[in-house]
Structure 1
Amino acid sequence: MRVVQLIDSLEAGGAERMAVSYANALANEIEFSALVVTRKEGNLKNQINDNVPYLFLNKKRTIDFNALFKLHSYVKKNKIEIIHAHGTSFFFAFLLKLICPSVKLIWHDHYGARVKQSTRDNLVLIMTSLSFSAIFVVNLEMKKWLESHLFAKKVVFVPNFVENITLISEKTLLKGQLGKRIVCVANLKKPKNHIALLNAFKELRLDQLGWSMHFIGKDFYNDYSNELKDYIKTTELNNSVYIYDAQNDIQYILSQATIGILASKDEGFPVALLEYGLAKLAVVSTNVGYCSTLITHNSSGLLFNPDNKEELKQSLTNLTNDQAIRIQMGLNLQQEVIKNYSKEKRIQLLLQEYKAIKA
């Protein structure tokens, strides 16, 4: 089997990380597993395994014929059978399908907020969906929406996975007191709802109790980012809330943390929760997307409605006040992740779907 994972960029994000993870994991399972990036490289390039063929197309515009024919040549030369397109790369994959109709096209949707959108918001996606041999989704709510809105031959729920690997990088040192660090792994953009975390942290006066908050994720240096930084400055949280931008050594960062938190208003299936679990962190999580399926409230973490600040504050109070609960919840989540979201289980499911599509 010969497969290409297609993604628009390698900046740190859920879809991007999963594209790299799939390419790496499949390299030891199939004849040819490659990764092709259309538009922009980024931090995740360093996480591509040496045995994964890699191609960067340097696409400059929506319809870039140079990039398209470069991909077409690569597909022909390497006898690619399946293009597994992640996120926004679906349109470029559709263009390839027009000039290379023999290739099978799978689109993998990671965008949890799509279920709140209208048909008008997704006209291009709907029209191009006729070319998809299958659609993969990361939660069942998305599956239902796509089945009712797209011309889908097949929509398959494919949960994300995480791999427990030996630490390969130990660069980022977290500030603050050991045993009292709260970490949020999420790019600095509006749906991630960082401001709710800042409000809760400030209102609970956690800084006065020795706790610190650490934001790990791509800083786009825009109005959203400036709002967070202004809040930190005006509320005098500079010595307890820290922004680190995107980092490659997530496992090492989490090994220094005590609580993992996620406050998003929209999610598909956040890889961060799986990573928190592997690190045995106690977790406070939004209840949107797949989060409320992955996290069992009061057992493997605490769930809250992202629009209810009192629920968030109560969850943080419960965990920061009780070390025994933190330890037990961290262990429970780790066991859940290892049992149900391992690389081995998910890759076998993926291979089954690939074979069915080829048949």
Structure 2
Amino acid sequence: MNILHIISSPASGGAEVYVKDLAKYLAGQGHNLHIAFLSNASDIGRDSIYEENFLNDLKFSGIHIYIIGNETRKKPWLGMLRIKKYISDHNIDICHTHLAFGILFTTLSSVPVVYTHHSMEPRWGKFLYQVFNRLVDEYVGISNKCAKALESYTMRNINTIPNAVSEEKFIGYKRARVPNDVINIVMVGRLTVQKDYMNMLRALNVLDEKLRANLRVKIAGEGEINYKSQLLEYINKNNLNEVVAFVGVQTNIPEFLYKADIFLMSSAWEGLPIALTEATVSGLPCIVTDVGGCAEVIVNSGNGIVVAPQNPQDLAEAITSLVNQPNLIEQYSRNALHNSAQYSISKAAQLHLHLYSKMLK
């Protein structure tokens, strides 16, 4: 099968990592995979070294790469023409876009189109979704909650295929957590308002001082300079420098997670974060806010605590509960290891292939 994915850029986002892992798996199964990027990472101010490694990984796996061009954001007709030509030149069977721009770019093409919605938010008005309905053959939601939200925008039947992780990356990086005196907490995600790191900082600030002294929080990810400045200002003002550290983009997330005792996500909104599924596969107990499909992962895996979003007190109580109950950390960790197969890329790939085959018939 000749499959074209359309995604934003070769950057450190959850959707991008998921598409890369999915494409690599399908290519390994003998399918011909293509990924078209709307932009280069540098066009949108993202890390160029990460982009180089990302693209090299795809090339090594035999996946074809195409840059549509950042200018098509303002000139979508160019994107339509370029995608039409690419589909024709490479005999594409299925076009699977993970961007609304990608839907527009398929306007002049005749192949079946799949659109995966990676968020809870509609992002576009209801009128435009009616236009999308004329162009999209099948919709995919990345969690049950996301699928229901997308159904309300489109009034169409939605396929639910949960975000997944390549377990191959985690060979040698899984373990049951047995905490020591110092508890290492990790967070993974861009430094943006969406991830609400300020919520986490405020939670740390209301913790018992003795308990907080035994915590180390490492945050992996790039992001907005102004937002990071606000976070650093709060850290300095509240003497959290010994507790919290920003470690930038990590090239080996499985190794980064392996060294941790707890995974924490304090987001204000989400779809279904790849970082959370990666943490689950690695065997980490998790504390997450009840946004998007996060609670679904915790309920299905039995590996953590769900708290209300934008509520530092709730988050602080969850951290205290885990730190004060080492046996709970161990139990959540073993649950994660036992139940995480449901988020394997092989399962997601089979669900996608079934959908593609149904469309082609």
Report the CA distance between 1:350 and its aligned residue: 0.9
Report the CA distance between 1:317 and its aligned residue: 0.2
Unaligned residue ranges in structure 1 (runs of 5+): 171-176
Distance 1:136 1:281 in 2: 27
Distance 1:201 1:297 in 2: 28
SS of residue matched to 1:212: strand
Distance 2:273 2:169 in 1: 21
Distance 1:206 1:304, change over 3 A: farther
SS of residue matched to 2:95: strand
SS of residue matched to 2:70: coil
Matches within 5 A, 1:253-272: 253-272=256-275
Q: Does 1:138 align with 2:142?
A: yes
Query: 1:57 corresponds to which letter in structure 2?
Result: I
Q: How many residues align?
A: 342
Distance 1:71 1:149 in 2: 26
TM norm structure 2: 0.86
Distance 2:171 2:72 in 1: 35
Q: Which residue of 1 aligns with 2:117?
A: 109
Distance 1:275 1:109, change over 3 A: same
Distance 2:25 2:189 in 1: 23
Report the CA distance between 1:47 and its aligned residue: 4.1
Report the CA distance between 1:147 and its aligned residue: 2.2
Q: Which residue of 2 aligns with 1:60?
A: 71
Q: Which residue of 2 aligns with 1:17?
A: 17
Distance 1:28 1:315, change over 3 A: same
Q: Which residue of 2 aligns with 1:92?
A: 102
Distance 2:212 2:102 in 1: 51
Q: Percent identity?
A: 23
Matches within 5 A, 1:186-335: 186-204=189-207, 205=209, 208-222=212-226, 224-296=227-299, 299-335=302-338
SS of residue matched to 2:355: helix
The 8 Å contact of residues 6 and 19 in structure 1, kept in 2 or not, is answered as no
Match for 1:343 among 339, 345, 349? 345
Query: 1:144 corresponds to which letter in structure 2?
Result: K
Distance 2:293 2:247 in 1: 26
SS of residue matched to 2:321: helix
Matches within 5 A, 1:66-81: 67-81=79-93
Q: Which residue of 1 aligns with 2:357?
A: 355
Distance 1:304 1:47, change over 3 A: farther
The 8 Å contact of residues 181 and 214 in structure 2, kept in 1 or not, is answered as no
Query: 1:38 corresponds to which letter in structure 2?
Result: L
Report the CA distance between 1:203 and its aligned residue: 1.7
Unaligned residue ranges in structure 2 (runs of 5+): 42-46, 174-179
SS of residue matched to 1:99: coil
The 8 Å contact of residues 166 and 345 in structure 2, kept in 1 or not, is answered as yes
Distance 2:57 2:243 in 1: 30
The 8 Å contact of residues 269 and 290 in structure 1, kept in 2 or not, is answered as yes
- Aligned-pair Cα RMSD in Å: 2.6
Distance 1:320 1:266, change over 3 A: same
Report which stretch shifted further, 310-319 or 202-211. Answer: 202-211
Report the CA distance between 1:206 and its aligned residue: 6.3
Moved over 6 A (4+): 167-170
TM norm structure 1: 0.87
Report which stretch shifted further, 349-358 or 43-52. Answer: 43-52
The 8 Å contact of residues 301 and 339 in structure 2, kept in 1 or not, is answered as no
Distance 1:218 1:126 in 2: 35
Query: 2:96 corresponds to which letter in structure 1?
Result: H
Matches within 5 A, 1:162-181: 162-166=165-169, 179-181=182-184
SS of residue matched to 2:37: strand
The 8 Å contact of residues 180 and 210 in structure 1, kept in 2 or not, is answered as yes
